[in-house]
Amino acid sequence: MLQIEKKFSEYFPGQPVIITSPGRINIIGEHTDYNNGYVLPAAIDKAISVAVNKRDDGIIKIYSTQYNELYESSVAALVKSNLNWVNYIIGVADQLLKKDFVITGFNMVVDGDVPLGAGLSSSAAVECAVVFALNELFELKLDKLEMVKLAQKAEHEFAGVMCGIMDMFASMYGKAEYAIKLDCRSLEYEYVPLKLPGHKLLLFNTNVKHNLASSAYNERRAQCESGVALVAKQIASVKSLRDVTAQMLEQYVLPADELIYKRCNYVVQENLRLLQACENLNKGNLWELGKNMFDTHRGLSEDYEVSCKELDLLVSLVKNNKAVLGARMMGGGFGGCTLNLVNENEIERLVNEVGEKYLLQTGLSCSYYVVAVGGGTSVAG
Ligand code: GAF
């Protein structure tokens, strides 16, 4: 019996279905998803699981093993909870109800090993697990893309972060050993083999999450939209930064607003960089791929300004290390993890060295994880 099944039987009667949904990394393509650009995420071998069965009395009961808290509400009276973790779950139920699906109540246990607040999308993993579970339980017949969109909307409305589609897409569509090259404009995607002979992807967790994260995220999104509006005044066919070139930015945005120019130029360059990075990955040019990652970090830190001193420190500590091909902050920013492409024989030495220096300079210890790329949301077992 799985651990989560045992927990479920302590709290609820009956047999549950169990769904697991992974966290994600992103090789490159940061802050491009809500600008209709490209991303290159992959699902990881750390996941959120939910065990769930149906009730017929209109009641929802949820127990979180990570928080050791029990939540209860009636389906008819779902409102935002002051238990933050709950909102990612009932936000999904709320979206289903808004689409007129009938949810008669459920019992649920949530568990998982995606580190929370580490920028590995534990929230998207929860949302995908829940929408997948409720789809199974109530036979809603939603396809994967519908579930992804619904999970994203739940995050917008119940968590208040105007996130793009990347995290949910990666969690739902993940495939072992592959990254997903997703075009966020057309939603066409392609699995790209993540062949890194002799190398591994290593995450360093700053173990900080600055408060600014969600307000700054929404602000960056608005700044990109302002840039698009400035270009669209001149070229009506422009709908997003995906339709904008560096030259258009220089011509129409730079004279009007330097800060907006900096933000938009980062996004335009990042899309180009992702295409180069995919080519480098396909050709096995790992040093070049690593260089793309360092360039992305510079852009995120200096132009998009979503990094923080802890992330910058972790990148600078590995920058001239021969064992590290590339490193960058990953995800929304203001904390969480850096992603490092490293020589697999040097990992132990590297983590000791970086850990010591990070502690010395910040007073914090950093955790690390060697990432394996796993499959997407599915029924467990
Ligand atoms: C967060 C968001 F949820 C994603 O949609 C994406 O924008 C990412 O930040 C930055 O690339 O993870």
Distance CA 364, CA 367 (A): 10
Among protein residues, the one with the nearest Cα to ligand 1's atom 1 is 332
CA angle 18, 21, 22 (to 5 degrees): 145
Residue in the structure block whose two tokens are 């609820």: 12
Instruction: Choose the residue to mutate in 116, 163, 218 for probing ligand 1, maximizing ligand atoms within 8 Å of C-beta.
Output: 163
Among protein residues, the one with the nearest Cα to ligand 1's atom 3 is 163
Q: Is the pTM here over 0.85, yes or no? A: yes
266 Cα distance to chain centroid: 19
Q: Which of 300, 293, 377, 295 has the alpha carbon at shortest distance from 340?
A: 293
Among protein residues, the one with the nearest Cα to ligand 1's atom 9 is 332
143 CA → ligand 1 middle, Å: 22
167 CA → ligand 1 middle, Å: 7
266 CA → ligand 1 middle, Å: 15
Check pocket membership of 31 for ligand 1, CB cut-off 6 A.
yes
Distance CA 204, CA 142 (A): 36
Q: Show which residues are catalytic.
A: 167
Distance CA 36, CA 222 (A): 14
CA 165 to ligand 1: nearest atom: 5
Among protein residues, the one with the nearest Cα to ligand 1's atom 5 is 164
Instruction: Choose the residue to mutate in 167, 224, 305, 334 for probing ligand 1, maximizing ligand atoms within 8 Å of C-beta.
Output: 167
Among protein residues, the one with the nearest Cα to ligand 1's atom 2 is 163
Check pocket membership of 332 for ligand 1, CB cut-off 6 A.
yes
39 CA → ligand 1 middle, Å: 10
Check pocket membership of 33 for ligand 1, CB cut-off 6 A.
yes
Check pocket membership of 30 for ligand 1, CB cut-off 6 A.
yes
120 CA → ligand 1 middle, Å: 10
Structure tokens at 87: 């909102």
Walk along the chain (381 residues) and give the pLDDT tens digit of each residue. Answer: 789 999 999 999 999 999 999 999 999 999 999 999 999 999 999 999 999 999 999 999 999 999 999 999 999 999 999 999 999 999 999 999 999 999 999 999 999 999 988 999 999 999 999 999 999 999 999 999 999 999 999 999 988 889 999 999 999 999 999 999 999 999 999 999 999 999 999 999 999 988 777 889 999 999 999 999 999 999 999 999 999 999 999 999 999 999 999 999 999 999 999 999 999 999 999 999 999 999 999 999 999 999 999 999 999 999 999 999 999 999 999 999 999 999 999 999 999 999 999 999 999 999 999 999 999 999 997
CA 155 to ligand 1: nearest atom: 3
User: What is the phi/psi pair of residue 9, to 5°?
Assistant: -70, -25
